[in-house]
Chains A and B, each alone.
Chain A
């Protein structure tokens, strides 16, 4: 039907989807991963995203919220979103159940250049807290295409062991031979025999080589700020460091004006920028 076609062109209209599964990720219950399945087969077939992109999750009557896509495009059939309970929409989402309807609008934004600049490089993934989500998507993608990348190093930290995301997968990654994984928590905790310390200091200890390498960093602004000096000391340049910005967004397609950082729209031109690009912008994120 022509009408149907027209509707799909409308970038404001979400795809109907259903919650297929809900996983409580953290001990405080504030982080849950939602597995969503687009209802229409055609939508499922047409869906294609790049790790690092995000989507607008829509709850009828509550509104929309931009959430990074936590699943890799290689994980076909469903989409994962790890959501922190913070505002009106995310609180409503946290109250929803398996089988509930939801809308998905996307994929939006640029994503990490996994098939261009990052190819053939040694990759260093640095994440703190729940900002690990799109980096999980990236890592899964890279492991699926392991031969396209050099050495892969992962440094990931949370406040406590119970606040770590994707715990089962972390274990699996740690036992892989083709991956250098460093999981850390802020303070000593009962039953924890892994690394202890903030992400920046672990990054300083690991001291990844900048040679033919790229670093993808996601985390709270304070973590990013303190992670940079040890990297710089190891010889890293701003152009090798990829960051993902977060700003309040509404339309997701570079019109509504909420997310601009200088002339740049985080939703459309980002959310992924090199640190070199970010340094040229006003600090409005």
Chain B
């Protein structure tokens, strides 16, 4: 492990264990080292001893905000769906947060999914997480048996090869275009802050697809999702997806077929993306977890661009600015409402 990560991991462990030891938090949510090269596992430490298992690396690709609401709930006394929470303070949970994760926590606070007073956020400025698929492509089809992280390099070893890869070359696309690597809310900070980044062409991937004509765009979309197995990893890993019953699972009424019909799969991906509009922070978890390598992040990225252009809004930067798609303002753009159509007119 690189010394940068080792330092961060050490601090996370000491903060977590003192929070757990003092009883300030009931659990601490972070990462532990996985069983495969380049894999980290989300991990909940419930006592100081377990905090020793916490770790940190460039492979922490899952947004931990996703786990927070359920983890907080697990420490509440059981109650019926409409019963109000009990009086008095409830146990707290500690959590590690990079820029985008903390921004999703802001959205969760705004949408009443978590209570700010019940989370102790340990902020870390993200250096960008690594895309395992890029690393795999870099070494061709050869099986990777170990991945060692150095400050700016990855040393990847297989049965009969060893490659040194520039870390930034294999960082995820979303991290490369990230403008807010620093946590926006935190109670403790590990390492320094790196400031807002200016990325002039951050929507380049979206621009390229927008430049296609409508048939080609549809073809691109169809091909992108053609291998979807409907495992819903993209949905389940997303901190924005918390409906008790998702529209794809609902059977009363049934909105979407449950097998792998192309139309149903397309509907799922389109609706999933739209549900994230104005809320998605481009954390990239959906794309990182997809077993089939579908780049569904581009769908939400397109909506992120639209929301920025239409409302000048980026989600999760502060708790006070309301989410544009769940608020009404008199001067909201409403170009989609067509009022001057006469009978017989064709648009």
Chain A residues engaging chain B, CB cutoff 8 angstroms: 87-88
B113-129 at interface with A (beta carbon < 8 Å):
none
Minimum CB–CB distance from A258 to chain B (whole Å) comes to 13
Specify the chain A residue showing the minimal Cβ separation from B254: A88
A87 to B252, CA, bound (A): 8
Residues of B close to A88: CB separation below 8 A: 251-252
Across the A-B interface, give the 3 residue pairs with the lowest CB-CB distance, nearest first.
A88-B252, A88-B251, A87-B252
Residues of A close to B252: CB separation below 8 A: 87-88
Specify the chain A residue showing the minimal Cβ separation from B252: A88
1/0 per residue, CB under 8 A from A, across B224-253: the answer is 000000000000000000000000000110
Number of B residues, CB within 8 Å of A: 2
Minimum CB–CB distance from A85 to chain B (whole Å) comes to 13
Specify the chain B residue showing the minimal Cβ separation from A88: B252
Residues of B close to A87: CB separation below 8 A: 252
Minimum CB–CB distance from A92 to chain B (whole Å) comes to 12
Minimum CB–CB distance from A217 to chain B (whole Å) comes to 27
Specify the chain A residue showing the minimal Cβ separation from B253: A88
Residues of A close to B251: CB separation below 8 A: 88
1/0 per residue, CB under 8 A from A, across B245-272: the answer is 0000001100000000000000000000
The contact sample of 3 A-B pairs, CB cut-off 8 A, is A87-B252, A88-B251, A88-B252
Minimum CB–CB distance from A259 to chain B (whole Å) comes to 17
A248 to B319, CA, bound (A): 43
A88 to B251, CA, bound (A): 8
Specify the chain A residue showing the minimal Cβ separation from B251: A88
Specify the chain B residue showing the minimal Cβ separation from A87: B252
A183 to B276, CA, bound (A): 56
A30 to B251, CA, bound (A): 21
A87 to B251, CA, bound (A): 9
B143-177 at interface with A (beta carbon < 8 Å):
none
A87 to B253, CA, bound (A): 11
Specify the chain B residue showing the minimal Cβ separation from A63: B251
A88 to B253, CA, bound (A): 9
Minimum CB–CB distance from B257 to chain A (whole Å) comes to 14
Minimum CB–CB distance from B183 to chain A (whole Å) comes to 41
Minimum CB–CB distance from B57 to chain A (whole Å) comes to 37
A87 to B254, CA, bound (A): 12
B261-295 at interface with A (beta carbon < 8 Å):
none
B309-334 at interface with A (beta carbon < 8 Å):
none
Specify the chain B residue showing the minimal Cβ separation from A91: B252
Minimum CB–CB distance from A283 to chain B (whole Å) comes to 15
Minimum CB–CB distance from A222 to chain B (whole Å) comes to 15
A88 to B254, CA, bound (A): 10
B167-192 at interface with A (beta carbon < 8 Å):
none
A252 to B49, CA, bound (A): 47
Minimum CB–CB distance from A120 to chain B (whole Å) comes to 46
B83-137 at interface with A (beta carbon < 8 Å):
none
A234 to B252, CA, bound (A): 46
A87 to B250, CA, bound (A): 12
A191 to B92, CA, bound (A): 56
A88 to B252, CA, bound (A): 7
Minimum CB–CB distance from A59 to chain B (whole Å) comes to 14
Minimum CB–CB distance from B80 to chain A (whole Å) comes to 15
